[in-house]
Structure 1
Amino acid sequence: MRLLDIPRLVEPLVSGGLADSVFTTAVEDPLRVQFSVPGPGGEWSEVTTADFCRQVTAVARGFTADGVRPGDPVIVMSRTRYEWTLVAYALWTVGAVVVPVYPTSSGEQVRWILQDTGAVGVVVENEHNAMTVAAAYGTRTDLTRLWELDAGAIASLVSAGAAVDEAAVHRLRSAVRPQDTALICYTSGTTGRPKGCVITHRNLASETDTLLAGWGVLLAPAGEQPRILAFLPLAHCYGLMVVVSAVRGGINLAHQPNLSPDSLLPALEAFRPTFLYAVPYIFERIFGKARINAQQTGHSALFERAVRVAVRYATRVQERAAGTGSGPGPRLRFQHRLYDRLVYAKVRGVLGGLVRNAVSGGSPLARELGLFFAGCGINVYDGYGLTETTAAVTAQPVGAVRHGTVGRPLPGNAVSIADDGEIWVAGDVVFAGYLNDPKANAESLRDGWYATGDLGHLDPDGYLVITGRKKDIIITSGGKSLSPQTLEEQLRAHPLISGCIVVGDNRPYVTALITLDPDALASWQILKGRPPSEPAQLLEDDELRGHIQRAVSRANSRVSRAESVRAFRILPDQFGADPRLMTPSLKLRRSAVITAYAREIEELYAAR
């Protein structure tokens, strides 16, 4: 199969913009809880739809008083917090354009986005962000609108807007059209300068309304209001899609600004969401933490048996759903019930205990990991999308998850596979184009189709399988072409390995740079009865290298001899220790890693 087109499930937005749903819901269901906001003592205070509508109106009046006009780009540079969402909806209410920027962005990146968008103002979270913006402006003095959230920006906007007639705000809102720009969302920039993706109100409404109509049954048990914790960066289109879905779907949404497991996991346990939107990194960390806890409590063998049973059980269930098997047998069902009490319930407890379904996006989730969570009672719906497709363009069908794929096209969209294996997409969620970049538009947009740059294929049932990225294809000096994704996924599945980059372009054979998980490494040392030591002290440890060599050998068994890793180097530090090597959405910048470790790569080849 080379083309699959799925009919629409919902009609595209025909009038108005994203902010309209705030005002409609406030009239129809004013007491519905829309947000949970953490208080100083850790308690949650509730914000109803009517409360949110009043706050959006008040802040929108403030932006109007400060001179923001329809079509004006305004940068929002903050971590994931309630005020981010409030500001975005206030700007959409007056017809302005939201330009999300990662709070970790450098002055150079901010300078480029200011120049590219012509932003009339910047909303920052704190003084550090304000200083970054000031550095980006340099000696220019035309930045007259800078609002700092931690310095009382919301209160200042509300005060400034008190003199603005509320009717004026509603007139501005009524003038917004579906085809108007809602976002200029910049790509993560894994290669080259990030490009501004122009996303319309219709794009975002089509994305979120389709997901709510087709997948809304997964968000919570029937009759219960869904609860979602938003922790993904809102400068990433995926994270912003979660927020817009919650507002349009009447979901109780909480915000968590810190993505580190030490902060995120307690927040999940406290808020107890009914559904989870995450990236593979989060699922990998949860699994790794469970494995380490089992090792430290002397239950390592029990946990590993539970993992195998979970994967077998979920595989049998998937085969039955696909009509290729009869499902789990009596013995497997008994083992699954036993381990559910001993292991799987604890895994669910890490997420608060109520999550039964989740979405993984940003990059493909490893098949074995998806099967493990399914066996634990958490069905992970892996999807595929890009900033240019307003987040997801494919998703696993409800009740028909096929692990190892990223599902089928969302209704209203189509997927086509080009002759060279590149994935092309078309439909309601495809963006309006790159800002100020006609060359990039001409290269990637043709007759309504967008060339993604990713490689893959459609299986006989229309499920999309991602096999790599076109720019990441390695061509050895012998002319062999290979995608590094399969090897890297296999290696990262090892308990001790946290990161991996496969190298081999214009080289005689393939090598790999590997990083070790500090927590897993500490646990391994305890199990071996060794005193704690830093990863750098263990790089040449024969027993440790033997473990990694066996992992490399297992990964090599999945590929041909020409594609196999012939040598590897264990690095002393995590890739994430250097922010230049990872995007804010936790993807490795491959070219940056290869440049940063050029000497180590040369030594790998020289040694052979």
Structure 2
Amino acid sequence: MRDLALAPPSAPHLTGGLADSLFGTAAESPALPVLARRAGPASATWEQVTAAEFRDEVVDLAKGLIASGVSTGLRVAVMARTRYEWTVLCHALWAVGAEVVPIYPTSSRDQVEWILRDSGCVAVLVEDEEGVMTVGSVCTALPLLRHVWQLDAGALDRLVERGAYIPTATVDSMRRLVLPDSTAVIAYTSGTSGHAMGCALSHRGLAFICDTLIAGWGHTVAEPGEQGAVLAFLPFSHVYGLMIQGLCVRGGLLMGHEPDIGGEALSSALRTFRPTYLYAVPSLLEKIYKNFLRTAQQSGRGALFERAAGTARDFAAAQERQRLGLGPGPGFDLRLQHALYERTVYRKLRAALGGRVRRATSGGSPLSRDLCLFYEGIGIYVHDGYGLTETSGGVTMQPFGREKSGTVGRALPGTEIKVADDGEILVRGPSVFQGYVGDAAATRAALDGGWLATGDLGRLDSEGYLTITGRKKDVVITSSGKSVAPAALEQRLRMHPLVHQAVVVGDNRPCVGALITLDPDFLADWRAALSLSGDAVTRAAREENALREEIGRAVAAANSSVSPSESIRVFRVLPEPFDVANGLLTPSMKLRRDEIVRRYALEIDAMYQSRTRPRRTAEPDPSSGWDDADNVFR
């Protein structure tokens, strides 16, 4: 095995719980604005909340929790979108020593029942009537559940009223009893196969990640002398979202909340809140890029945008070579061209994100190098991060001034990484979880001598930069024994504007195949641009042929990044996307690969059978007969 770690941690030593940082900030800088919320659902005005006001709200709510019997070590679930109240309740629970159990509001009835029962929650806060009905339908199986609070029905206000008689000193006393190694959060894994497992995360583990990032990279969040501002829209139900919340509260950043991640709502929030730093996931960054392209095409400037995007990538790649000591940097012609597009294209793209964003982080799954270079080239460096639920969030970060696109950076100070002989990434450090709730066997299997077996595959280069190549359990093994990690192929496929989702298949098959869904917005625009003549039947046939050719080009582009034996040789376009409602995505938007393969077993069989050819030689290549991509549409 290869072993690598950076310098010792530089983060401050934690002495209490996560709520303490809020109280410390309120004492030292009571007028500092730390939270922001819209004046109304569609308002362009954001009301700021100072540290002192935030602390007072937390104390008042903590009193209500105490009056309701919530105390140290008890667990309370929060099943709501990313809202202002989520942050207030979270810190109130930590202030009384309770443990937070996040649940995605899109979770199914069975998922909700499992998490509430497995964690032994005594209360749950839901957002609306639908949430009340979901929890109500499973209450009989939850003997420990005492309270169901509905956010939109004024539950938090009633809690505050209920606890009005509790002295503030009681909250302070309970907060001071919280130790760094006390459990702060029970975060459930995505459950891509089987039941989700609850990861016990300590106050120390969550604080370590936030404090290390603030200490080493806090200066990159905003321009010198400017308070950093972050728009929180990723789910707090996911450890990535909780990490963002912790970074903002512990780092004194202004945090806005946007519960609706739909296109127009999020776009409006970005333009009006104007964050200085952007936290996102690859699917969102891909969507933003495609929307830029789509808008340009609709205005007749598609070719201009594509030229500008190419220049941005070339410019960023040259900059990267220069900072890594591998080249002289952008040449005169490239700098001139880049300056031209800065005036005509790039600044307009940044304005769509509020105009102040200069750096960003992507997490949850790997981000393509091409996309990293595009954003860096338009003036927004995107760091592709790596972390897991079991590591309280982040594991790696790009060294400032030595960033390398296409990797996820190097291990955070105080965190160790090594890659096993089979390519699995192992992690050790203060942020590693305490174990799976109620599952000692699974905990022992995941932890060996303090090293966490992540289940992810990767490689470390000579300078310690980590590249993620896929998930161990997702590797496809063809009938010829070829192992293929699907992530890179799927990533490249999604870069085509028409491709919405892609799942690589091929276990025990002669070659690699893919199931593809289409982006409805781009599909509509693409159809309109065809302008086909003839009767309906003729137009439909010509459209299908054109679509086959276009998706074939997307497959060919993806194949250019891998060897011939790893290439996609057959594919099928599916009539509907994978989503949470049809059970093919987890609430955290991860693919349920096993369920997808089971659901589309007939389509997969037909996809391979349609391209079978008789063998022409006695000992052919295992992939012979699969030279052309299969264009089978439903």
Question: Under TM normalisation by the shorter chain, which class is it?
Answer: over 0.9
Matched letter for residue 594 of structure 2: S
Q: 2:609 — aligned with what? A: 606
Distance 2:600 2:581 in 1: 12
Deviations 1:36-84 (A, max 9, x none): 1111244211110000111100000000000011000111111000000
- Which of 491, 504, 507 is the aligned partner of 1:505? 507
* Residue 276 (1) aligns with residue 316 (2): no
Separation in structure 2 between the aligned mates of residue 108 and residue 243 of structure 1, nearest angstrom: 28
C-alpha displacement of 1:20: 0.7
- Conserved 8 A contact 1:10-1:206: no
1:215 corresponds in structure 2 to 217
Deviation at 1:539, TM superposition (A): 10
Greater Cα offset, 592-601 or 6-15: 6-15
- Contact preservation (8 Å) 2:117, 2:141: no
C-alpha displacement at 1:489, in angstroms?
1.5
Aligned to 1:293: 295
For 1:249, give the aligned amino acid.
G
- Give the distance between the partners of 2:83 and 2:369, measured in 1 at CA: 32
For residues 555 and 25 of structure 1, the distance between their equivalents in structure 2, rounded to whole angstroms, comes to 49
> Aligned pair 1:166/2:181, yes or no?
no
RMSD: 1.7
- Go from structure 1 to structure 2 and tell me whether the alpha carbon gap of 1:135 and 1:312 turns closer, same or farther (over 3 Å shift): same
Q: Give the structure 1 partner of residue 622 of structure 2.
A: none
User: Could you tell me how far apart the structure 2 residues matched to 1:603 and 1:12 are?
Assistant: 59
Residue 339 of structure 1 aligns to a residue whose secondary structure is: helix
1:140 Cα offset (Å): 5.8
- Evaluate the alpha carbon distance shift between residue 577 and residue 75 of structure 1 in structure 2; reply closer, same or farther with a 3 A threshold: closer
Contact 1:487 1:556 in 2 (8 A): yes
Aligned pair partner of 1:584 in 565, 582, 587: 587
Deviation string for 1:544-578 (max 9, x for gaps)?
Answer: 11111122123223322322211111112222374
Matched, 1:403 2:405: yes
User: How many residues are matched?
Assistant: 605
Aligned partner of residue 237 in structure 2, secondary structure: coil
Cα distance, 1:24 vs. partner? 1.0
Q: For residues 88-144 of structure 1, what are the alpha-carbon distances to aligned partners after superposition, in whole Å with 9 as ceiling and x for unaligned?
A: 100000000000111111121111112211111111111111111111223766533
Per-residue CA deviations over 1:477-527 (Å, capped at 9, x if unaligned) read 121111112221221111211111111001121111111111222222232
| Partner residue, 2:547 | 544
Equivalent of 1:357 in 359, 363, 385: 359
Alignment correspondent of 1:481 = 483
Equivalent-residue separation in structure 1 for 2:555 and 2:605 (angstroms): 20
- Asked if the contact 2:120–2:145 (Cα under 8 Å) also holds between the matched residues in 1, the reply is no
Counterpart of 2:177 in structure 1 is 175
**TM-score normalized by the length of structure 1:** 0.97
Q: Which amino acid aligns with 2:545?
A: D
Amino acid aligned to 1:466: I
Matched, 1:23 2:28: no
Residues 580 and 589 in structure 2, CA contact (< 8 A), matched pair in contact too: no
Aligned partners of 1:14 and 1:567: how far apart in 2?
54
Q: Is the CA contact (8 Å cut-off) linking 1:362 and 1:585 kept in structure 2? A: no
Give the match for residue 343 of structure 2: 341
Question: Residue in 2 aligned with 1:560?
Answer: 563
- Equivalent pair of 2:388/2:394 in contact (CA under 8 Å): yes
Distance 2:62 2:210 in 1: 23
Letter in 2 for 1:355: V
> Which residue is 1:126 aligned to?
128
Q: CA separation in 2, counterparts of 1:539 and 1:140?
A: 57
Contact 2:187 2:201 in 1 (8 A): yes
Residue type of the partner of 1:337? A
2:313 and 2:377 in contact (8 A); partners too: yes
Following superposition of structure 1 onto structure 2, how do residues 220-299 of structure 1 map, counting pairs within 5 Å?
220-299=222-301
| Worse-matched range after superposition: 548-557 or 197-206 | 548-557
Question: What do the CA deviations read for 1:452-484 (whole angstroms, capped 9, x no partner)?
Answer: 001010011110011111001111112111111
Q: Secondary structure at the match of 1:462?
A: coil
Q: After superposition, where does 1:109-120 map in structure 2 within 5 Å? A: 109-120=111-122
What is the deviation of 1:7? 2.5
Partners of 1:527 and 1:215 in 2: how far apart? 46
Which residue pairs with 1:63 in the alignment? 65
Distance 1:142 1:236, change over 3 A: closer
Separation in 2 of the partners of 1:79 and 1:272?
21
Structure 2 counterpart of 1:421? 423
* Equivalent residues in 2 for 1:302-313, closer than 5 Å: 302-313=304-315
Identity of aligned residues (%): 51
**How far apart are the structure 1 equivalents of 2:76 and 2:197?**
17
SS of 2:453's partner is strand
Deviates more, 1:519-528 or 1:69-78: 519-528
Change (3 A) 1:530 1:229: farther
Give the Cα separation in 2 of the matches to 1:472 and 1:444. Answer: 18
Q: Which amino acid in structure 2 is aligned with residue 34 of structure 1?
A: V
The answer to whether the Cα contact below 8 Å between 1:13 and 1:205 also exists between their aligned partners in 2 is no
Shift of 1:8: 2.9
Q: Distance in 1 between matches of 2:486 and 2:276?
A: 35
Unaligned runs of 5+ in 1: none
Unaligned runs of 5+ in 2: 612-634
1:145 paired with 2:127, answer no
Mapping for residues 40-79 of structure 1, pairs under 5 Å: 40=40, 41-79=43-81
2:204 equivalent to 1:184:
no
The answer as to whether partners of 1:502 and 1:511 remain within 8 angstroms in 2 is yes
Q: Distance in 2 between matches of 1:193 and 1:412?
A: 32
